[in-house]
Chain A
């Protein structure tokens, strides 16, 4: 700017730079906020690390009226399976049971009773209708911590080879099944 008047293009460019930066930041924030409302972005998400990893090592005892299972059972899978943590003392678990019962013929569901007395878990499954092909008991809740579970219900879609492909920490809904779970499960089928 010494002596020579700066050319109008250069000036306009310099003037536009802060506006472009501010605009870029604005778009970034807008995307972040809209992602938060749509659910694709969640700064509180504590479950992202579980995705696309093999299930943790665990071996859980039977929970009537089903047989327990272990990490080896999930790793030996050829087709996808839904693993659902539930408990008789959990209200949202009651709410999702009809949805799970409607789903069980399209996709096998394995249940894990989280911190539940075996007789209470049995009573719960008998009252609500049993959607589970196998049920295991995580009585002290330590396997759940290895899975990254922070409460019930939580549900994982396990792909062939025991890889976690999808996860939710909220009750399963019809919309989740049609929009996410079934398309993903179908794509994972051999």
Chain B
């Protein structure tokens, strides 16, 4: 009972289609939402892709179909049309919703700590292990006393 090779190929193609289909699905499908200038629209999409939808939280506002995301897209396009820079629009959003609205967090002490924490923990662990298991340095034995010397010579003589 061998499977037909064509059927297998078709199945793989279907799976591939299903896998990659979500990549092209954007929520902005309403042409009336877009800016007439394609360059401006592209900039607005790039900015929107960096803004978190506050309702669904793990999607950008460009990908989300939530009402608030649509409003935020509208606001971004308004600002782009006004000729504001990407940085200005980002700042406007962060001013109102805080850094949580940025899908890519800014570099701060907090995020730095977050990234170096595994390394820090490893160093601390190695440090503790080293100090715990380090062999104590063998102390130099004190010179033999007269009593010991005598005993030693007694022992060697009896041999």
Which A residues have a C-beta under 8 Å from some C-beta of B?
A: 5, 14-15, 17-19, 21-22, 25, 43-50, 115, 140-142, 145-148, 150-151
Contacts and interface: CB of A to CB of B under 8 A. Distances in A.
Contact of A50 (B57, B96, B127, B132): B96
A43 B97 CA distance: 12
A141 B69 CA distance: 11
Interface string B119-147: 01100100110011000010100000000
B94 A49 contact: yes
Given A18-B127, A151-B68, 17 more contacts: A5-B139, A17-B127, A18-B131, A25-B120, A25-B124, A45-B100, A49-B94, A49-B96, A115-B67, A142-B71, A142-B74, A145-B68, A145-B96, A147-B96, A148-B96, A150-B54, A151-B55
Contacts, number: 61
A46 B131 contact: no
B89 interface: no
A15 B131 contact: yes
Contacts of B71: 140-142, 145
Secondary structure class of chain A's binding surface, majority of residues = helix
Nearest to B68: A150
A44 B57 CA distance: 9
Interface string B87-112: 00000001111101100000000000
B15 interface: no
A115 B132 CA distance: 64
List the 10 closest A-B pairs by CB distance, nearest first.
A150-B54, A148-B96, A18-B127, A46-B97, A15-B131, A46-B100, A18-B128, A18-B124, A49-B98, A46-B98
B97 A148 contact: yes
